[in-house]
């Protein structure tokens, strides 16, 4: 046995008797962690002459990168689109609770709201690392208010806006600031949307097309201007038509910039999208699917009346409706439920289902150098699952933060 002297005095943990998701396949290999990152064991053995301080027997379970939810509106009674005296406390509560779903990073999502709400809420939700206190906040997702009135879904019509000036002025006037924003969903067919898309992209903010009446050429133009995501594919957009497939056509478009791919969100809750539609999308563009919960504040609560932003929501079974209507308003599914349903509905591999909730959202947000993989040097954010894909343990920075 080599001596336990190494470059760093930090303890080393070796996870044994496991199958780890690496290079798109499950491999029977140990996982090594030090100082919150995945460690290269060869360098440890041969360069540092080091060994493990602790060993964790995983009982032949799967280790996969932690799940990343880029569209979650709240949960457990917390509504991210409501200004309150304890916004940070509400976000922290949800961050803590979603650890049990395998989520290690997320984007708190604000639905269409009046400017006063954005100005109050956005500065309060800070980007921060995760840990025992909860999943990491990797930036806000602002879904609206620059969306189509016709495809607003559950978004309140009175707060929907157009780009009157174009560019950054409309964005700043509405949102107040963009420092903590990771993604903005907008309708690309709106007048003056081009400079807004270009400005957001220049600032490193992902632009998503959604809640939109755009045809395919308008959607393609948005991608040329920097858009890289589709918000909840099939929902709140023109339905597929064989003469103009609309936004859905981006999945197989041959008019996108060279080397560019478009990611698309899927709410795989068994309600928002028919299993056949999940299969069509997945088979058309398997490397672009990003599983999202689109969870509303009622997630984790009993049936009854709740809120989402400025709307009243009625929970009936697994359905979340705008009160008094049959309009779906997000989901009450959890991420681990979505991973399981997606695999069952599409017949995809276990690896593909897990990457749709980890690698792909990390790639979308430009974080795959440290999130969404178990590559050497990546953040040691991961989940331990059994063969039914039930989450048994969640780790952030190599530290166990939740156990079933």
Active site residues: 294
Q: Is 328 one of the annotated binding-site residues?
A: yes
Show the tokens assigned to 50.
């080091």
Q: Is 272 one of the annotated binding-site residues?
A: yes
What one-character DSSP code corresponds to residue 238?
A: P
> CB–CB of 131/400 below 8 Å?
no
Q: Is 241 one of the annotated binding-site residues?
A: no
CA distances (Å), origin 162, targets 166, 200, 210, 229: 9, 16, 14, 20
339: CB partners within 8 A, 6+ apart: 67, 102, 268, 291, 353, 354, 356, 357, 389
**Distance (Å, whole) CA 256 – CA 238:** 20
Show the tokens assigned to 191.
């007048």
3-state secondary structure of 227: coil
Q: Is 211 one of the annotated binding-site residues?
A: yes
H-helix or E-strand containing 87?
helix 87-97
Q: Is 157 one of the annotated binding-site residues?
A: no
355: CB partners within 8 A, 6+ apart: 21, 24, 372
Q: Is 314 one of the annotated binding-site residues?
A: no
Q: Is 236 one of the annotated binding-site residues?
A: yes
Q: Is 86 one of the annotated binding-site residues?
A: no
> CB–CB of 177/151 below 8 Å?
no
Q: Is 143 one of the annotated binding-site residues?
A: yes
Show the tokens assigned to 228.
């890289």
Q: Is 136 one of the annotated binding-site residues?
A: no
Show the tokens assigned to 15.
């996870």
Q: Is 303 one of the annotated binding-site residues?
A: no
Binding-site annotation: residue ranges for substrate: 154, 235-236, 243, 272, 328-330
Binding-site annotation: residue ranges: 143, 154, 211, 232, 235-236, 243, 272, 328-330
Binding-site annotation: residue ranges for Zn(2+): 143, 211, 232
């Amino acid at each position: 046995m080599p001596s336990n002297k190494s470059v760093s005095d930090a303890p080393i943990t070796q996870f044994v008797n496991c199958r780890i998701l690496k290079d798109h396949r499950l491999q029977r290999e140990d996982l090594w962690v030090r100082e919150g990152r995945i460690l290269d064991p060869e360098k440890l053995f041969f360069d540092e002459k080091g060994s493990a301080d602790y060993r964790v027997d995983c009982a032949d379970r799967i280790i996969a990168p932690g799940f990343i939810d880029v569209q979650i509106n709240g949960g457990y009674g917390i509504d991210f689109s409501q200004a309150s005296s304890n916004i940070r406390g509400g976000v922290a509560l949800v961050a803590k609770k979603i650890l049990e779903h395998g989520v290690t990073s997320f984007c708190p999502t604000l639905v269409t709201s009046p400017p006063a709400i954005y100005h109050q809420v956005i500065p309060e939700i800070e980007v921060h690392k995760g840990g025992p206190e909860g999943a990491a906040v990797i930036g806000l997702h602002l879904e609206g208010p620059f969306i189509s009135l016709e495809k607003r879904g559950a978004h309140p019509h009175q707060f929907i806006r157009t780009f009157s000036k174009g560019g950054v002025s409309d964005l700043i006037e509405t949102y107040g600031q963009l420092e903590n924003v990771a993604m903005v969903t907008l309708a690309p067919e709106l007048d003056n949307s081009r400079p807004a898309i270009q400005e957001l992209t220049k600032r490193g903010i992902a632009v998503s097309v959604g809640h939109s009446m755009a045809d395919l050429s308008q959607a393609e133009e948005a991608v040329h201007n920097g858009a890289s995501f589709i918000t909840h594919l099939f929902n709140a957009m023109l339905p597929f038509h064989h003469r103009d497939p609309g936004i859905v056509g981006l999945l197989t478009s041959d008019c996108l910039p060279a080397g560019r791919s478009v990611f698309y969100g899927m709410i795989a809750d068994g309600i928002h999208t028919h299993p056949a539609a999940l299969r069509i999308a997945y088979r058309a563009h398997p490397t672009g699917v990003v599983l999202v919960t689109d969870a509303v504040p009622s997630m984790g609560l009993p049936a009854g009346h709740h809120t989402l932003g400025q709307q009243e929501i009625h929970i009936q079974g697994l359905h979340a409706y705008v009160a008094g209507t049959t309009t779906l308003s997000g989901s009450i599914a959890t991420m681990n439920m979505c991973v399981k349903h997606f695999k069952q509905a599409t017949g995809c591999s276990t690896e593909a289902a897990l990457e749709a909730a980890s690698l792909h959202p990390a790639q979308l947000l430009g974080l795959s150098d440290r999130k969404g993989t178990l590559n050497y040097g990546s953040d040691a954010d991961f989940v331990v699952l059994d063969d039914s894909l039930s989450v048994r343990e969640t780790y952030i920075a190599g530290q166990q933060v939740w156990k079933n």
